[in-house]
Structure 1
Amino acid sequence: MPTPAQQVHDWLATYDAPTASVAHLLCDRHPGSAVAVTEIGEDLEPAVHTFADLARRSGRLAAGMARLGIGRGDRVATLLDRGFDLAATAMAAWRLGAVHVPLLTALAPAAIGTRLAGARARLVVCEERVRHKLQDAGPWRVAVAGPGGLAGDLTLDGLAAGAGPVPRAEAVGGSAPFLHLYSPGPGGVPRGFEVPVRALAAFHSHFRYGLDVAEDDVYWNTHDPSWHYGLYFGLVAPLLAGHAGLQLRAGADPELVLDVLAEQRVTNLVAAPTLYRTLRSTVKTLPPEVAVRRLSSAGEPLPEGVVDWAGDVFGAPVRDHYGQAELGVCVGQHQHPDAAVEVPPGSQGTSLPGWSVAVLDPFDDVEAAPGVLGRVAVDARESAAYWFGGYAGDPKARLTPDGRWFVTADTAVRDREGCFFFSSRDEEAILASGYRIVPGDVETALLEHPDVVEAAVYGAPDGTGGQTVAATVVLADGAQAGPELAEKLRELVRGRFAEHAYPRTIDFVEELPKSPSGKIRRSRLGPRSRG
């Protein structure tokens, strides 16, 4: 068996080759009878789709897309719920050498329009229930996953019907993009970036060595596959490894989660800390059918109490993992025997195979001594799995001047054994219900209301050890603070940015706490006159 480092290099030899084809790597090379996606509806009835099903459906969709003129390098966006339609649509785009642009259905129309325009999308495939969010005219065609839609729309079934011969899977090579994603930027402006095919080596490394997904595991990643972590490790990595993935098309409340764990006999679970905290507050004993051997978490630090609780109730600890949209996962408590390292309590683990991660001095771009708090950075030269090529129009963003270090904006201490102890993870970001919400995005939406002069958004405790979105607002002279205005502001955020990011609490104040330089002191924000 190759060492983990050698295995990453072997994957790169395949995924970074000039002949690399995403549709071949994620679908066509696997046995047709193997299960690719198990879609679970609200009634908990599973719909099982094999790799042969995925090849057939995506091939027909690719033929339909080709009829529309979609080809290599074109952008195909989706506003789809998790499930087989999303997997087949993405695979169809990859068959043509096109680039998939996944968007959350919860995004507001303006946020969707900005991202579609930035990606230069040519086709948008959406759920019928969110079709109204695309009413603004754009240079893209629309296909609806259902019988509805507007005049001139296609249906997803119509796109796949009678489309002619299935195109051969396009070989694009390891440097070509296959995903176009967005990351929050300064001032709430989303920054687009591309994920090249060679990034599959990084995703495969975490899937095998970080999550330890075994061949006989029933694997369930509860993150939304239109969001970075759920996309990389709930959709792409399982398909890459030829492994079935569960996709639940219903809200993940504790009772429903337990039902899925029991009925599907899940053995490898990946979930946001929010879900673990919710389970902890409601679950005392597990149904006898639940037998999970691996529990993993990502997105925010895990409270020690949750780790201990999971060990007592599930008989397995929750293992923490760290990464960013621009990296995937690069540090963690790896669970595969070939990569597992004992880490002390409170540590988020060590560098993943294929990655060299360090802590830099707070001021100079040199490695800090063990035990010194500094900036977490990835060695772009020494990390075989590193793939980020910068943001659109800014290819050198977040790199040190010499191009060696990708600086994450998080801080940590690293001990002499290479174990990381994170002090903050982009401390202004709000980690709520598995989503990373940048305050500037919400503040921009709030400031669109004529009564709002200033707004500061921050994360407030949600009662289970997690966070919820909160806002402190300064109103214009004569504006009337109160519950009615607060609800209007919430609706504004839902409509202008995203449904999941509205502030649950809003405080009205005469002025925001600021430093002498004018920077908002978010640590001093809190309840005063609440709406």
Structure 2
Amino acid sequence: MIASAHLDTFTRDHLPAPELWPELIFELPELQFPERLNCATELLDRWVEQGQGERLCLQGADGLRWTYAELQRQANRIAHVLVQDLGLVSGNRVLLRGANTAEMAACWFAVQKVGAVAVATMPLLRAKELQQVIAKAQISHALCDHRLAEELQLAQAQCPQLRSVCYFHSEAEDGLEARAARHSEVFANVDTAADDCCLIAFTSGTTGAPKGTMHFHRDVMAICRCWPPQMLRPQPDDVFIGSPPLAFTFGLGGLLLFPMTVGASTVLLEKASPEALLPAIARFGASVMFTAPTSYRAMAPQVGNHDLSSLRKCVSAGEALPAATRQLWKEATGIELIDGIGATELLHIFISHDEAHAKPGATGVPVRGYRACVLDEQGQVLPAGQVGRLAVKGPTGCRYLADARQRNYVLNGWNLTGDAYLVDEQGYFVYQARTDDMIISGGYNIAGPEVEAALLLHPAVAECGVIGQPDEERGQIVKAVVVLREGFTPGPELHRELQDFVKATIAPYKYPRALEFRSSLPRTETGKLQRFRLRSQAS
């Protein structure tokens, strides 16, 4: 390890043992990082130093427009607040709590500048969940939108280690804006090591048990140099937009890191529902969009009501992309979705494709800089066409914060993502299910997402989730929970119609023997379907 700049050594002290790390690969020339590296210097300050500080960087729904120089000034002032007013030292963990706003972005960069560790949290987290994060990461400082103060204050009452909280979007004399205004707009970034931890990202909770994943300054820069130039190919005049929160690594990369890597701009929307995204694309002239498959499916019928002529790239990630959703979006817009799979543990996308090489039903191929394969239960590589456990390695990898589950995620140097995949004859990786979402019914292995994809082809189905339901005779049966489109009425006739439709679309043994209509499905803030909640509700 390189000499750390952290005075607070908590993160280095709580890394997994070296023998439990995945193998890290830095074969590409662009991944040869210097020993001293601060991602804020690379992503933000260098544009100002190169004389391009007046380039547009951030926009907001309230008319806000910040250049790179303005973002730098704001981040520098906040950095002074952290160090001089709040007594932060390098290596301290800082909780960031807020929606997607320019102020939230400035806080994130300020944390990097002072050599601290950003721990961004989803806005909807409650006090109990915040307590778990604060305790596990031993968080000492927090920067929080004052509109989200209540739950944090409840958590702080139970967390003595959280000794300093400052609120932004506040008009108070001790609010972040007032404090920052009293400080210099110049700040000398801490000379961090490339392998100093700069963020702890907590998993989004599809299993109900979030884990803290530790990432270094070089990890942040590595994801910027792998997937974006190869698969996305952004341009400096691009305008990015999307829905994933900055607290979600998909959103952090897609809406902040990746546009800033090439000097582009991004639109940060506090509320980015499908109804809000479409008019925002037209208003801001957005050219690159990041959102989840469910959002693309919801937006497709409304595309004709909006001017999307500026839009040229659309990225889908966060959960598996059904072939029906890909086709629906292409028919509506003419744009081929760029699909990809990433993981909080590896920070961002590692298997993907560009528009020219999209293949319906397939996620793509390993991103340059990463390797991937499919393993059996004994850890042996499976041949094409056989379903097994997805295994990945590259310049980023899993390092859980003080968590015994590190042993489950890393095997013989590979990151085991928890996804069941197969590789087809053309070398494309084809998603089957989460490994814990495989349904074994009457001796057949059935992937829940395959049944979901079949149901989504029916015009009555808006959303659906498929799980295994315990059954004495068959071990499990396939159960579908369906949300209908407007204009369709649940009932026995539609129930049978959907079952017959699935039988006619995929192998008949995969049809849902149980089917339930609901008004909504349980999802995380990032749009991921929480099948574990469906299972608990069905048991």
TM-score by length of 2: 0.72
The residue type paired with residue 270 of structure 2 is R
Superposed CA offset, 1:243-297 (max 9, x none): 211111234242x3221111212222111111111112x3262534533221110
Check conservation: 2:56, 2:65, Cα contact below 8 A: yes
Superposed CA offset, 1:430-467 (max 9, x none): 999xxxx9x9xxxxxxxxxxxxxxxxxx98333369xx
Q: How many residues align?
A: 433
SS at match of 1:49: strand
Unaligned runs of 5+ in 1: 1-5, 440-457, 466-493, 506-518, 527-531
Report what 1:205 is aligned to.
226
Report what 2:340 is aligned to.
321
Q: CA deviation at 1:351?
A: 0.5
CA distance in 1, matches of 2:406, 2:527: 30
Counterparts in 2 of 1:306-455, with a 5 A limit? Answer: 306-327=325-346, 328-335=348-355, 342-361=357-376, 363-378=377-392, 380=393, 383=394, 385-394=395-404, 396-401=406-411, 403-428=412-437
Q: CA deviation at 1:346?
A: 1.3
Answer yes or no: is 1:56 the counterpart of 2:65: no
The residue type paired with residue 228 of structure 1 is T
Q: CA deviation at 1:210?
A: 2.5
Within the candidate set 237, 240, 252, 1:219 is matched to 240
TM-score by length of 1: 0.73
Check conservation: 2:398, 2:406, Cα contact below 8 A: no
Counterparts in 2 of 1:29-48, with a 5 A limit? Answer: 29-30=46-47, 31-41=52-62, 46-48=63-65
Check conservation: 1:202, 1:354, Cα contact below 8 A: no
Counterparts in 2 of 1:1-80, with a 5 A limit? Answer: 9-13=28-32, 16-30=33-47, 31-41=52-62, 46-67=63-84, 68-80=86-98
SS at match of 1:263: helix
Unaligned runs of 5+ in 2: 1-24, 439-447, 453-464, 468-478, 487-521
CA distance in 1, matches of 2:141, 2:197: 17
Superposed CA offset, 1:383-418 (max 9, x none): 2x23332342448433555x3211111111102332
Check conservation: 1:371, 1:413, Cα contact below 8 A: yes
Answer yes or no: is 1:263 the counterpart of 2:280: no
Report what 1:475 is aligned to.
none
Root-mean-square deviation (Å): 3.6
SS at match of 2:408: coil
Check conservation: 1:82, 1:225, Cα contact below 8 A: yes
Check conservation: 2:294, 2:527, Cα contact below 8 A: no
Check conservation: 1:270, 1:295, Cα contact below 8 A: yes
CA distance in 2, matches of 1:373, 1:498: 27
Check conservation: 2:398, 2:415, Cα contact below 8 A: no
Q: CA deviation at 1:62?
A: 0.7
Percent identity reads 22
Report what 1:297 is aligned to.
316
CA distance in 2, matches of 1:292, 1:395: 41
Q: CA deviation at 1:99?
A: 0.8
Superposed CA offset, 1:289-323 (max 9, x none): 53322111002222222222222221111221111
Report what 2:122 is aligned to.
104
SS at match of 1:410: strand
Q: CA deviation at 1:502?
A: 13
